[in-house]
Amino acid sequence: MQEAVTSGRLSARFAETEADLRAAQRLRHLCFQGGEGLDADRFDALCRHVLVEEAGSGRLVCTFRLLVLNSGAEIGRSYSAQYYRLDPLEAFDGPMVEMGRFCIHPEVRDADVLRVAWGAMTRFVDENGIEMLFGCSSFRGTEAEAYLDAFGMLAAHHLAPKRWLPRVKAADVFRFAERLRRAPDRREGLRRMPPLLKSYLAMGGWVSDHAVVDREMNTLHVFTGLEISAVPEGRARALRALAG
| Residue 2 confidence (pLDDT) | 61
The pLDDT assigned to 183 comes to: 85
Are the beta carbons of 151 and 176 closer than 8 angstroms? Answer: yes
Q: Do the beta carbons of residue 193 and residue 185 sit within 8 Å?
A: no
Query: What CA–CA distance (Å, rounded) separates 238 from 234?
Result: 6
27, HSE (Cβ side, Cα atoms, 13 Å): 25
Does domain 65-243 fall under CATH 3.40.50? My reply is no
Task: Return the pLDDT at 1.
Answer: 60
Residue 91, pLDDT score = 97
Per-residue pLDDT of the chain (244 residues; tens, 9 = 90+): 666 888 778 999 999 999 999 999 999 999 998 999 999 999 999 999 999 999 888 999 999 999 999 999 999 999 999 999 999 999 999 999 999 999 999 999 888 999 999 999 999 999 999 999 999 999 999 999 999 999 999 999 999 999 999 999 999 999 999 987 778 999 999 999 999 999 999 999 999 999 999 999 999 999 999 999 999 999 889 888 877 7
Residue (of 40, 55, 47) closest to 8 by Cα position: 55
